Structures are given as structure tokens and as C-alpha cells.
Amino acid sequence: MFVNRDRRRAQLTASPHRYLRCALQPSALNPRCTRSSRSYTRALNMQLSSVSPKLLLQLCISTIHCIFARFFSKVCSWTAGARRGSASAVSAAADSKPNRSEDQDATTPTSVNYHFTRKCNYKCGFCFHTAKTSFVLPLEEAKRGLKLLKDSGMEKINFSGGEPFLHEKGDFLGKMVQFCKQDLQLPSVSIVSNGSMIKEKWFQKYGDYLDILAISCDSFDEDTNQLIGRAQGKKSHLDNLYKIRTWCQQYKVAFKINSVINTFNIEEDMTEQIVELNPVRWKVFQCLLIDGENAGEAALREAERFVISDQQFQEFLDRHSGVSCLVPESNEKMRNSYLILDEYMRFLDCREGRKDPSKSLPEPLSNCFSPSPRMRFPTGLPAPDQGFLRRFLDHLVTTGTAPAPLSLLDIDLRTTRPPSRPQTPRPCPRPRPRPRPRHVQP
């Protein structure tokens, strides 16, 4: 018995924590102990009586030391993680802090091109925004989206298509132009059109709200315009061009010309006609291929036969270098420097040679009834204050990349009630035949 007691004391002196385990599990030191309550109590009292107060004090001190050691180790790990997190946040903030010199040198584009319709009465072979759908956002929804853009810092809006004057004979377009100039007080409101649907009556009603009107004219030869597809029957495209130029002078609207240089007009010299028309700006574009629009299997146009090389485009620019209002736009500039909204008010990313849409700025009415949208911005975008769009575009210019997705707002839709199913007309019930009167025999 004394030998076993000395052995337990030696084990306890070597490892005081083993005493606690032995007290809770007496069968670990004495295999003959059973799990009954009486044997468990007897074994525990025997072990406690065999331990001196000095060893118990040593056990308590060791236990308290272990508790404090574990506590301080966790506290140290927490503080170390917080230091690493704060250091990474500081470094990330230092990396994301824009360079003032770069911001001062970079030009901040605050212009948005809104292609609110795809329908067009012309069939230009190189068109990169084809009539894949006839959808047009309702006027109130379009106004709400324009208001969001204005609140985010937009200063210029350009309406295009398709042919923007085709929908509701230009009245829909005129109401948006009036809203942007009169209600939103935008500094610049412009339109790009082919000119075939413009009437003087439109200038009389909405001319005071329009700043710039751009007319597309690729050639001053009627046969070339027919080959390109910029014609409608026997109507003269050039006659409309000169007529609209006169109206712009009369109603004090800046006149602008857009030309797409392709294989059919690459050898043409337009200097004399451009000088005669005297536009405020002559935008010259290089024919651009967009997968799914004018190139590829799902495209409605085959623009490969219109494409010219960079050298041919430069030769055309050199030939017209004497025109002071000439502003060239190569394919690279067209892909990277334009903010385009489609008919659903989704931003289109054309940098990869195709149009990758983002989420809609205002949700379409077809997907939302009595909406109460919850707006959340993608990772990396600032809060929605007055200069948000400016900083968004500044980031696009300085870094060459835009935060993903390429969207001004990433909107989660919450509908107050599910959309109703379309009601099918019920067939009219057939009239029941009247019962014949019974003849009573006398």
C-alpha cells in the first residue's frame, strides 16, 4: 500500500495535472475500481487523503498558470491579427489613393450615350447596334434613370439608336430632351440621327432644349450611300442633310456630322462639302466590328466587307488634314472611351470586341411592379454621392479598367407583389335554347 502511495506521489510531483485526470477517472490509476458511485467515492477519498497540502497548492498554482497562459495566448493572437488587418487596410488605402498629378492630367469624361431604341429605317451594312429587339423603356422609367445619372455627376447626354426620331415620330425623344435640359439642367444635350425622320415642327417644339444635332453622312455620292445602305427608297439623303443644316442655323442648334470610313468611301475627298456645310465638328469613325451585332453567327449585319486597315484610315485622315473641324475616332478609342447605355439602360462593355451588358440602371417595368429598389454598389466603388460618376470615369481613364461589373449601379430588385399572369380571353358562353311551350290538349 505504501509502495503504491509513494508511486502516486512521485507521479503527482512529476505532473500535477495528472492528479485532476486521476480524480475524475479513478480507473485510470486503479483498474480494479468500478464505475459504481460507492467505489468512485472511495477511490476519490483515498487519493485525496494521500496528497499533502503542499502538492494541492502546487496543483492549484499550475492550473491557474495554464489558464492564464491560454488566455494571454488568445489575446496575443487577436491583437496580432488586428495589427495585420490594420496594416493591410493602410497599405490598401495607400495603393488605392489616386495620384493627384495623374488626376490633373487625365480628362474626366462625364458624357453618356443612351441608345434607347434599336429600330431604324436604314440598313447600313456596318451598323453595330442592330434591331435585335423593339423594346423601348417607358418614358417615366427613362426619366428616373436619367435622374440617377444626373445625381451621380453626369453632365452630358447623347441620345442615339437605331434612329431616335422613329419612335413616336420624335415626340418621345423630344420629351426626354426637354426633361434633361429643363428639369435636370444638363449643360449639354445632343442627338445622333440619320436625318430622314426630322421635321421642322420638331424644332419648333423642342429646338430650344437641344444643344447639338449630329447627322450621319458617310458619302456625298448618292450611289455610294445606296451601296452602304444609308438610304430609304428614292429619298435623297443629301437633300435632308442640307435642309437640316438650315434648320439648325434657324433654331440655333449646333450642327455636327458623323462619318464612318469604310471600303466604299475610303477614296473619296469630302473636303469641299464639309467646308461648305461648316459643321462645328466632323467626327470621322473607323468601321468597327462588334461580335453579335455586325460580326459572328448571331449578327444581323456582315460588316467584314466594310472593314479597312489602320493604314487606310490614316491615309484618309491625311487627305483631309486641312479641315479644321475634323475629329478622328479609331477603333481603339471607340472601344475604350465611350459609356454606352442600351435600351434597357444597361452599360455595355465593348472592350473585348463584344457588348457585355451590366444590370439595368432602373429596373424594367416588365420585371418590377411597384418597386422599392435596394441599391448596393459593387466592390471597389465609392458611396453614391454627387461626384460618384466623375470618380468612376476617372478610374476608368487612369487605370484603363473599370470595376466589375461595368455598371453605375448594381440594383437588387424587391417587388411588392408578384407579376400577374396574362389573362387569356374567355370564350363567350353559348345562349341556352329556350324551352318550348307545352301544348295542353283539351
Q: Are residues 38 and 167 in the same domain?
A: no
Examine residue 429 and state whether it is found in any structural domain, yes or no. Answer: no
Cβ neighbours, 10 Å, residue 209: 18
For 318, the grid coordinates are 491625311
Task: Give the mean pLDDT of 199-221.
Answer: 96
Report percent pLDDT > 90 for the chain. 34
Q: Are residues 180 and 311 in the same domain?
A: yes
Q: Are strands 212-216 and 340-341 parallel, antiparallel or unpaired?
A: unpaired
Q: Are residues 229 and 114 in the same domain?
A: yes
287 classed as catalytic? no
- pLDDT tens digits, one per residue of 242-258: 999 999 999 999 999 99
Q: Are residues 119 and 174 in the same domain?
A: yes
Q: Are residues 183 and 279 in the same domain?
A: yes
Mean pLDDT of the chain: 71
Least confident of 110-114, 347-351, 416-420: 416-420
Map residue 188 onto helix, strand or coil. strand
For 14, the grid coordinates are 512529476
Task: Give the mean pLDDT of 379-406.
Answer: 44
**Which single residue is written with the C-alpha cell 426626354?**
176
Please check the confidence at residue 427 and state whether its pLDDT lies above 90.
no
Picking from 364, 397, 421, the residue at the C-terminal end of a domain is: 364
Which residue out of 22, 124, 180, 217 is catalytically annotated? 124
Cis peptide before 162 (omega within 30 of 0): yes
120 classed as catalytic? yes
**Into how many domains does the chain fold?**
3
φ/ψ of 393, rounded to 5, equals -70, -35
Which residue out of 22, 66, 127, 287 is catalytically annotated? 127
Least confident of 103-107, 200-204, 438-442: 103-107
At residue 79 the predicted structure's pLDDT band, cuts being 50, 70 and 90, is low
Q: Are residues 123 and 174 in the same domain?
A: yes
- Name the residue type at position 196: S
Map residue 81 onto helix, strand or coil. helix
Q: How far apart are CA 354 and CA 245, in angstroms?
A: 34
Handedness of CA 157, 158, 159, 161 (dihedral sign): negative
Examine residue 410 and state whether it is found in any structural domain, yes or no. Answer: no
Q: Are residues 155 and 285 in the same domain?
A: yes
Q: Are residues 202 and 221 in the same domain?
A: yes
Q: What is the pTM of this model?
A: 0.58
Q: Is 316 or 391 the better-scoring residue by pLDDT?
A: 316
Q: How far apart are CA 439 and CA 245, in angstroms?
A: 88
Q: Is 156 or 379 the better-scoring residue by pLDDT?
A: 156
With CA atoms as reference, report the closest residue to 146 among 118, 195, 171, 182: 182
- pLDDT tens digits, one per residue of 311-355: 999 999 999 999 999 999 877 776 665 688 888 888 876 555 545
Examine residue 424 and state whether it is found in any structural domain, yes or no. Answer: no
Task: Give the mean pLDDT of 71-94.
Answer: 52
For 421, the grid coordinates are 399572369
- pLDDT given at position 129: 72
Mean pLDDT is highest, among 127-136, 224-233, 403-412, for: 224-233
Q: Is 128 or 414 the better-scoring residue by pLDDT?
A: 128
Examine residue 21 and state whether it is found in any structural domain, yes or no. Answer: yes
- pLDDT given at position 89: 41
Q: Are residues 177 and 269 in the same domain?
A: yes
Paired residues of 216 in beta bridges: 258
Q: How far apart are CA 385 and CA 305, in angstroms?
A: 46
Name the residue range of residue 13's domain: 2-51
Which residue out of 120, 217, 287, 368 is catalytically annotated? 120
The sheet with strand 281-286 has its strands ordered as 326-329, 281-286, 254-261, 212-216, 188-193, 156-160, 111-115, 340-341, 346-349, 356-360
Examine residue 369 and state whether it is found in any structural domain, yes or no. Answer: no
Examine residue 379 and state whether it is found in any structural domain, yes or no. Answer: no
Q: Are residues 92 and 179 in the same domain?
A: no
What is the domain-level CATH number for residue 304?
3.20.20.70
Q: Are residues 31 and 154 in the same domain?
A: no
Q: Are residues 77 and 161 in the same domain?
A: no
Examine residue 287 and state whether it is found in any structural domain, yes or no. Answer: yes
Residues in the chain: 442
